[in-house]
Chains A and B, each alone.
Chain A
Amino acid sequence: MEGLNYAVTDVGYGSDGGEDYWIIKNSWGAQWGDPPIKIARNVGNVCGIATTPSYPIAESVPQMKTKDSLDRFGDDLLEVLLSYLPLEDRYRCEYVSKQWQRLIYETLYSITIDDKLIEKMMETNIFGREYCESYKLIQIMRKCVNIETIHCRGFADNKNVIHMFEAIQGLADNCLLPKRFHYKFTQTDASYDHMRPLFEMLRTVITGISGNISQCKPYLKYCPKLSQLKAGKLSDVFSGNESVVKNLNKFEFNFRGFVYNHELFAAFVAKNQSLKSLV
């Protein structure tokens, strides 16, 4: 139960005219209500009394948990501590202990997939490359059960796009499709044809696109959650006189060589009234 930090000692329970109650003793001292007070028992879960009890356990084995051992921390606190670890250290420390293994990926909410990451995996495999890379990537990503955002930086190698696609497909097969997906195209990027299946699968979660977007223009209007866009020129988001994007809240484009076209601009603003930032 979250937000509980008030401890009382439950000294008993009783019944009074059909009403059940807990008898609790407050541990804060006289000014916070001693003698023991009664709390109605059947009125929901007052103060988490029924769901979050703690009780001492008499252990026959000698206590292993010394003061200077991190084992003294419970799951809640350890999870907070581990949430500050970078991605690679989480994978490296997975087998420190079972408690770590259970908690270390819980707070991993975003991951960046780029050439570097995929190449790293390539080096380690000794068997058939094609198969192994995607398999490894899927295995790595499957551990991050709470993944929310995937960032992708442009891939120099078309094959890497396919590997990434397969990895995300693997996630989707495990019902772990992220909520947000940001894709950054680069100059050397794979052609849009390679990206097509990815866009088709992820269109409902794509929230940000940047780089040379002209090649994916026809698809932009099928991305209902797209809220951040970085384009080369304003005309990149226009098909004829119609803006293909709407409800953006951040839009960046290159002002260099920008010819102000009132009609285009007005049409763009009209469709993107939620815009909060224009650069």
Chain B
Amino acid sequence: MNGEYSLDTTEGMAASGDPPTNNAVDDYDAEEALERQREEENKIKIKLKSFEGGVYECGLTAAKMSVMVANMLDALQETDLTKIATREPIPLQNDAVTNKALEKIVEWVDHHWDDPPIDPDFDDEKERRNEELSHWDKQFIDIADQGELFDIIAAANFMDIKGLVEVGAKHICNKIKGKSCTEVREMLKIHNDFTPEEEAAIHKENEWIYAKD
């Protein structure tokens, strides 16, 4: 796979001093048009229904950040998008999608709807993975009630919203960093299914971790 380190072609062109070709201009126009379309579509509001029955309104482009919702909307084969708004709410049939979780999820997609899409093959993937959470995301995901936090992550995973799952994952990993196994277990309420002997054996294998820097 050469994707990891190859560079954007436009950058390559700039470096070699070639004038941009017509193709590049067309691409740029197409991108602009797509952005405008996304903006227009986000003005259409659709309804999402939680597992507990609560109904929440959300911009269409924002809602489509959920691959699952996007697929369901595709399945309707509705060409007139405005009609989608008048349809019955889209049911989200997973017990993690509680009222509270869905309310937070709608808040998140409404804030992030114009983010560039996540492309795992793109070079920046690695950089993005290592990036710290934005201030907004940090505040958003800093939820005291752990059950609620896990609901949001599980619901985002069910709805297939990769960006939000990533926010949750980074948040939890930040909490794990530097903690001992026992502390992690306690914090995340994980059941220990190792015998003390097994535990000691793995601890010994990984002893190098505890050496001083």
Identify the A interface with B (CB < 8 A): 5-7, 27-32, 64, 66-73, 76-77, 80-86, 88-89, 91-98, 100-101, 116, 120-121, 123-124, 136, 139-140, 179-180, 207-208, 227-228, 249-250, 276-278
Contacts and interface: CB of A to CB of B under 8 A. Distances in A.
B59 interface: no
A69 B12 contact: no
B211 A92 contact: no
Interface in B127-184: 129, 145-147, 150-151, 153-154, 157-160, 165-166, 168-170, 172-173, 176-181, 184
A77 B208 CA distance: 29
A208 B11 CA distance: 21
Given A32-B75, A85-B177, A277-B15, A121 B211 contact: yes
Interface string B173-203: 1001111110011001111111000110011
Contacts, number: 158
A208 B190 CA distance: 41
Given A207-B5, A249-B5, A249-B7, 10 more contacts: A5-B71, A69-B150, A69-B188, A69-B191, A80-B157, A81-B153, A86-B177, A93-B181, A120-B208, A228-B5
B206 A77 contact: no
Contacts of B210: 124
Contact of B189 (A69, A124, A207): A69
B8 to A, nearest CB: 9
Contacts of A249: 2, 5-7
6 contacts: A27-B93, A70-B150, A97-B190, A123-B208, A180-B4, A277-B15
B209 interface: yes
B199 A95 contact: yes
Contacts of B158: 5
Contacts of B190: 69-71, 96-97, 100
B80 interface: no
B212 A92 contact: no
Nearest to B158: A5
B25 interface: no
Given A7-B93, A85-B176, A121-B208, A64 B191 contact: yes
Contacts of B5: 207-208, 227-228, 249-250
B72 interface: yes
Interface residues of B, number: 68
A266 B165 CA distance: 49
B173 A136 contact: no
Chain B contact residues: over half helix, strand or loop, or mixed?
Answer: helix
A80 B202 contact: no
* Interface of A: prevailing SS: mixed
A86 B153 CA distance: 20
Contacts of A5: 67-68, 71, 158-160
Contacts of B27: none
Nearest to B16: A278
A179 B15 CA distance: 29
B205 interface: yes
- Please provide the 5 A-B residue pairs with the shortest distance between their CB atoms, ordered closest to farther: A67-B147, A68-B147, A69-B189, A70-B188, A68-B146
A49 to B, nearest CB: 16
Contact of B180 (A88, A92, A250): A92
Given A7-B93, A277-B12, A139 B205 contact: yes
A97 B191 contact: yes
A74 to B, nearest CB: 9
B26 interface: no
B185 A96 contact: yes
Nearest to B75: A32
